[in-house]
Amino acid sequence: MKGFLRFTSSWRSLFGKLWVITLIFATCPALTRTVWAADGGFEPLFGATGLDHAVGDKGAWSLHEGVLTGHPGPAPASSTFLLKIERFGNFILKFRVRANDPQFDVLFRATIQPPGQLIGYVAEIGGQHAGTLQFRKPGPMFIKPKESEPGHAAPGFPDAVGIPFVEKAYAETTLVSSDSANVGVSSPSGQWVEYEISGLGDHLLTTVNGKVTAHYRVKDRWPEGMIGFRLPPEMAGSVEIQDLQVKVLGEVTWPEEAPLGNLTEGHSAEGWKASPPDFHRVTDEEWSEETRQLLNEASHDEGYRSLYDGKDLQGWHTAATFWTSEDGTILGEPRNVFLVTDKDYSDFILKGSLRLTPPGGNSGIQIRSAVIPDGMRGDQYDVGIPWWGQIYGESTTRGIMVPVDDRMKRVALVHADGWNDYVIICKGDHLIGVLNGQVTYDFVDYYGEKTGLIGLQIHAGAAMKVYFKDLRLRELP
């Protein structure tokens, strides 16, 4: 840790020397990458398996020998996104970029709020405002219906099926504006430029060619979220990003209390300290291997115990009378209320079947969750068009934690008028969801709760019923 702090405090003085070395060896990428690889604690954002753990417009992105290239093709009418399915809290991201189109964005601490708003912080890359820092604000969670929608649990659900997995945020606010001329980013573009983006507690920083272009202290911060990339509409060129590395940090402290807002001028960006993270960040290869192992374990039916005997609700509790045992099933009728297990569960495989009538209803299964006055808080295996099989942070700001880039494919998995089989796997940081035999999310979550209650939800709204049966669970060592 002492070595890391010495490195941090001396970074600004060393940077000039490293940049000169980079320029000298610019014609030899292998030597340039060696300089970057010498920095302790940094790891590739993407592993050798490519974009397996990313979501978005993957046809417009490729990863080859560590270089991420965005090539949207003929000028697209809408933005082109790529998001790593991994969340980062305190971190330093660094990379070098070359683009033959003016500007694109890096998103960080980003999340998806229903019905598909991509919110979080944005650093502008290239163009006239390289290093500018923005915030994508959330708006109303659901679309306002033009007329009543009988049989649907919440307004806007039918329309939400056709919405892209992300759409324009409710509003975009510039926190700190930067002028590319001040950081030596010339136009036309095509040069290699070095960027560093940091989330350090409630301080956010962007650095271009060694110069701090934005330093901002937020009040109501989004503490963690995804890292991603956005190519703007009508972009006809391409982007190359190399040496794309991230360092994950634990708790960050600053030497003195700074005012909120723009700290770019007159405030030091140095002196902060970070503890090591309290988790091991898995490589993409480790992630994929554990996924195979967990799905293999879930394919066997031995070792499970029933959570419902088909007769009564022993082992469950609720504060309301909206849940009953009927003909071998657990039945819920509307109001946003949960049927909750009497004990906590940490690592487990949960299997069962459920049915919604009418199909436009809304339900969910809470895992590792806590009871709060108005319901439950925690991770939810979501149920209902178009959210089937997604993992959602109920009563939190975490939103949809694994975005879905094609909701119609997800809806096609659903047996609208029949029973739907699900499997939910929790093992340490690793969470997997399966719907009717298909994996719907595969997520490594460093920041979520590792133990808690299981709850069955019946959502508020129009008249509907949700039935659960064959609930069985196997605890994992």
Question: Model confidence over 406-417: pLDDT tens digits?
Answer: 777 888 899 988
Q: What are phi and psi of 232, to 5 degrees?
A: -75, 165
CATH number (domain holding residue 365)? 2.60.120.560
Domain boundary among 281, 310, 327: 281
Residue 15 above 50 pLDDT? no
230 and 312 belong to one structural domain: no
Q: What is the pLDDT of residue 144?
A: 52
Q: What is the pLDDT of residue 14?
A: 37
Confidence of residue 373 (pLDDT cuts 50, 70, 90): confident
268 and 412 belong to one structural domain: no
pLDDT higher for 18 or 356? 356
266 and 300 belong to one structural domain: no
Domain boundary among 247, 281, 315: 281
345 and 268 belong to one structural domain: no
Residues 428-440 pLDDT 10s: 999 999 999 999 9
Structural contact between residues 263 and 254, judged by C-beta atoms closer than 8 angstroms: no
- Mean pLDDT computed over 107-114: 91
Q: What is the pLDDT of residue 238?
A: 87
Confidence of residue 11 (pLDDT cuts 50, 70, 90): very low
Domain boundary among 281, 299, 319: 281
Structural contact between residues 107 and 120, judged by C-beta atoms closer than 8 angstroms: yes
- Mean pLDDT computed over 215-228: 92
Q: What is the pLDDT of residue 101?
A: 62
Q: What are phi and psi of 325, to 5 degrees?
A: -100, 125
Residue 19 above 60 pLDDT? no
241 and 140 belong to one structural domain: yes
pLDDT higher for 37 or 230? 230
260 and 330 belong to one structural domain: no
Q: What is the pLDDT of residue 137?
A: 85
60 and 200 belong to one structural domain: yes
Residues 134 and 446: their CA atoms lie apart, in Å, by 25
Please report which residue ranges of 201-351 form alpha helices under DSSP H.
Answer: 284-298
Percent of the chain residues past pLDDT 70, beyond the cut = 82
* pTM tops 0.75: yes
Number of domains in the chain: 2
Residue 251 above 80 pLDDT? yes
Q: How remote is the C-alpha of 7 from its chain's centroid?
A: 30
Q: What is the pLDDT of residue 162?
A: 53
Which H or E element spans position 262? Answer: strand 261-262
Structural contact between residues 130 and 213, judged by C-beta atoms closer than 8 angstroms: yes
192 and 334 belong to one structural domain: no
Q: What is the pLDDT of residue 163?
A: 53
For residue 163, give the DSSP letter. S
Residues 241 and 221: their CA atoms lie apart, in Å, by 28
- Mean pLDDT computed over 21-25: 34
Q: What is the pLDDT of residue 321?
A: 57
pLDDT higher for 386 or 13? 386
Mean predicted lDDT score pLDDT of the chain = 83
Q: What is the pLDDT of residue 320?
A: 53
Residues 306-345 pLDDT 10s: 999 888 888 888 755 577 788 888 887 656 678 999 999 9
269 and 371 belong to one structural domain: no
Residue 370 above 70 pLDDT? yes
Residue 476 above 90 pLDDT? yes
Residues 56-79 pLDDT 10s: 888 899 999 999 999 888 877 788
Range of the domain at 320: 288-475
Residue 265 above 60 pLDDT? yes
Q: What is the pLDDT of residue 3?
A: 39
Q: Any long-range contacts for 219-223 (C-beta under 8 Å, 24+ apart)?
A: 219/260, 221/109, 222/109, 222/111, 222/119, 222/120, 222/121, 222/397, 223/89, 223/109, 223/447
370 and 407 belong to one structural domain: yes
118 and 219 belong to one structural domain: yes
Partners of residue 105 on adjacent β-strands: 124, 230
393 and 426 belong to one structural domain: yes
Residues 168-212 pLDDT 10s: 666 889 999 999 888 777 655 678 899 999 999 999 999 999 999
Q: What is the pLDDT of residue 150?
A: 41
Task: Convert 86-102 into a string of H (helix), E (strand) and C (coil).
Answer: EEECEEEEEEEEEECCC
Structural contact between residues 152 and 158, judged by C-beta atoms closer than 8 angstroms: yes
Q: What is the pLDDT of residue 49?
A: 77
Residue 147 above 70 pLDDT? no
pLDDT higher for 39 or 305? 305
